Every structure is written in structure tokens, then in C-alpha cells.
Amino acid sequence: MSVLAADVAPATVPVLEAIGLGKTCGDRAVLADLDFAMERGEFVVLHGANGAGKSLLLRLWLGLERPDAGSARLLGGELARGSRQQRRALLARTGVVFEQDALFEDRSVGDNVALALAAAPRRSKAAARRAVHESLLLVGLKHVDHLRPSALPAATRRRVALARAIAHRPELLLVDEPAAGLDPLAGAAIHELIAQLRTRLDLSVLLATRTFEPVPGVRLLRCQVIAPKGVPGVKLFEHQVV
């Protein structure tokens, strides 16, 4: 397969794939010969403690880190090795929610959500406003377009970040620790919302989290640090939820 797949990957191509993936941080082999595939339409939860490599895996798939061995493929392509145009094409089909929500404090909620539309095909201002409004409604928010993120509680900020991630109607949604810092009820509500968005928008979802209550239909992967022969590394252990 080429570095970047065609603009529309065949349905048989995994939406996320790791092939012999290896990554070293300093003198520590964090990932070694990791193989993984996530099929279109799946909801996969990557579960593990702090430092277990969850965020690193997401950064490798997003091309924010380069693997030392093997490949990390997103929608059939490798973001770390493609051209700027090729990366933009793949990211236009991907929604991302970072752990710290990454909202711009000097912009309104509406403007933050609209940023996701920059990589999408051009649309009128009216169509962009409609997309922002619809995305905020999908995450349960009304009348917040004009507010600054600093005026919102943490749980609402996470919903704004989700609205931005789905505003351009991606195929794949990557979410990193959406419940971090929230109370258990608010965290569970965010996880439930992500499951609802997956169904309503026909998304493939990878959710990295420290806390998750297994539910039917979710593929659960435990991301654990192990130390064979005294050398620590990360392994994925699958637990099918039925």
C-alpha cells in the first residue's frame, strides 16, 4: 500500500491500523512490534492507566509523532509520511478531541466549532453557521455560540470540543480522555454522548480513557505497561464485551 491511500479508502481498509509499530522514548522501548486493526463502524475503547501509552498511540496515528519502526495508518494512509496536501485530505475525514479540549480562549464557542470547517469543502457563511448550530445541538448545547470557553464549566467545554470534532461530519472520531477531571456522573454522561454520536452520525470511534464502564457492542483494549526481561513496554490486551 502507498504512503497515502486514495481520497476514499475502500470499506475493507481498516480505519486505524498498526503494523509492527515501534516507538522508543529515550532508552525506553514504549511500543515494540505492535499489531492492531480497527474496522469501519467499530467503537473501540483503549483503556489504561496514566503512562500506559494511550495518548502516544493517538499521536502516532495523527502523525504528531513518527514511529521508529513499522507503520501507523489512519484511513489507509500514514500521516507522518505524507505530503501536506495528503495529510489535510485524511484529517478532513477525521475528528479529534484532545485531553485538554484545546479550545481557543480568545474566540467564541461558535468560532471554535467553526474551525473544523476550514478543512472541509467551501461553504457559504449561512451554511457554516447552520453546521455550527446543528453540531452544538447534537451535543446538547443551546445559546452558547457567543460565549467564551472560559465562561463554561469543564463538562460543557468537553461538549464544545466534541461539537467541533463532528462539525465537518468526519468518518472517524478519536477522543483522548474526555472524562479527565470531571466527576463520575459528568464523565459517564460524556462517554454516553460519544456512543450516541457514533450511532447518529455513523462514526467509527476510538476512545482513550482511564475510566470506562464496559457496555455491549464496545471492543475493549487494555493498554498496559509490562516489563519482559526487565525492559518496560506497552502491550494491548483485548477483552470483548458481550
pLDDT tens per residue, range 56-95 = 889 999 999 999 999 999 999 999 888 888 888 999 999 9
Read off the pLDDT band of 5 (50, 70, 90).
Answer: very low
45 contacts 219 by C-beta, under 8 angstroms: yes
160 contacts 149 by C-beta, under 8 angstroms: yes
Q: Considering the chain, what percentage of its residues have pLDDT values greater than 90?
A: 51
Give residue 108's pLDDT. 95
Answer yes or no: is pLDDT of 150 > 90. yes
Separation of alpha carbons 239 and 189, rounded Å: 23
Give residue 82's pLDDT. 81
Domains and CATH numbers, the chain: 1-93+170-242 (3.40.50.300), 104-165 (no CATH)
What pTM did the predictor assign?
Answer: 0.86
CB atoms within 10 A of CB 228: 9
pLDDT tens per residue, range 154-213 = 999 999 999 999 999 999 999 999 988 899 999 999 999 999 999 999 999 999 888 877
Give residue 25's pLDDT. 77
Say how many Å lie between the first and final Cα of the chain, rounded. Answer: 34
Give residue 4's pLDDT. 43
Task: Find, among 180, 173, 103, 176, the residue nearest to 144 by Cα.
Answer: 103
Classified as helix, coil or strand, 219 is strand
DSSP state of 168: T
Read off the pLDDT band of 119 (50, 70, 90).
Answer: low
Judged by phi (left if over 0) then psi (alpha if -120 to 50, else beta), residue 217 lies in left
165 contacts 96 by C-beta, under 8 angstroms: yes
Read off the pLDDT band of 130 (50, 70, 90).
Answer: very high
Given CA atoms 99, 200, 60, 105 in this order, what sign does their dihedral have?
negative
Read off the pLDDT band of 10 (50, 70, 90).
Answer: low
